[in-house]
Chain A
Amino acid sequence: MRRLWLLPLLMGAVGGIVFYALAQQEDPAQEVKKQKEMLLKETGILPGDVYAEQGRDLFNKPMGSAGKSCSSCHGQDGRYLKGAYAHMPRYYKDADAVLDLDTRIKYCMEKYMGVKDVKHDTNFKSIATFVATLSNGMKMDVRLEHPKEKEMYQKGKELWYARVGKMDFSCAICHDTFGGQRIRLQTLARIKQDKVATHWPAYRFSNDQLWTMEDRIRGCYSQIRVTPPPHFHWAHIALSLYMAHEANGGVIETPGFVR
Chain B
Amino acid sequence: MKRHFILLSSVVLFACAPTQQEKPKPAEAPKPPPPQAKAEEKKHTFEEDIKQDEAQKLCSNPQGTVSADMVAKFLEEQKRLIKYPPNGKLMGDWKKGEQLFVNTRKGNCYACHCADPKELACGNIGPTLRYYGKRQNNVKYTYEKIYNSWAYVPCSIMYRAGVHGILTPEEIADIVAYLHSPESPVNK
Contact = CB atoms under 8 A, between A and B. Distances in A.
Interface of A: 1, 4-5, 7-9, 11-16, 18-19, 22, 25, 51, 54, 119-123, 126, 158-159, 161-170, 172-174, 176-178, 181-185, 207-210, 218-219, 221-222, 225-230, 233, 235
Interface in B95-125: 110-112, 120-125
A221 B62 contact: no
A235 B50 CA distance: 11
Given A161-B61, A166-B159, A18 B46 contact: no
A12 B27 contact: no
B23 A207 contact: no
11 contacts: A15-B20, A162-B60, A164-B50, A167-B166, A168-B56, A177-B157, A182-B124, A209-B35, A227-B49, A233-B46, A235-B46
B44 A227 contact: yes
Contacts of A222: 35-36, 38, 41
Given A11-B10, A14-B17, A184-B110, 9 more contacts: A120-B31, A122-B29, A161-B62, A163-B57, A183-B125, A184-B121, A221-B49, A225-B41, A235-B46
B34 interface: yes
B160 interface: yes
A9 B26 contact: no
B64 interface: yes
A12 B17 contact: yes
B17 to A, nearest CB: 3
Nearest to B23: A11
Contact of A164 (B41, B52, B120, B125): B52
B104 to A, nearest CB: 9
B1 interface: no
A215 to B, nearest CB: 8
A9 B6 CA distance: 7
A183 B112 contact: yes
B10 A9 contact: yes
B69 interface: no
B15 to A, nearest CB: 8
A181 B49 contact: no
B43 to A, nearest CB: 8
A117 to B, nearest CB: 12
A148 to B, nearest CB: 21
A229 B47 CA distance: 8
A121 B33 CA distance: 10
A169 B159 contact: yes
A229 B34 CA distance: 12
A78 to B, nearest CB: 19
B16 A168 contact: no
Given A5-B6, A13-B13, A167-B164, A228 B36 contact: yes
B32 A209 contact: yes
B26 A7 contact: yes
B18 interface: yes
Contacts of B52: 162-164
A13 B59 CA distance: 46
B26 A119 contact: no
Given A165-B50, A222-B41, A18 B27 contact: no
Given A169-B157, A177-B64, A184 B26 contact: no
Contacts of A12: 9-14, 16-17, 20
A173 B125 CA distance: 11
A173 B50 contact: no
B48 A227 contact: yes
Nearest to B62: A161
B29 A121 contact: yes
B136 interface: no
A221 B46 contact: yes
A121 B159 contact: no
Contacts of B62: 161, 172, 176
B135 interface: no
Nearest to A228: B36
B177 interface: no
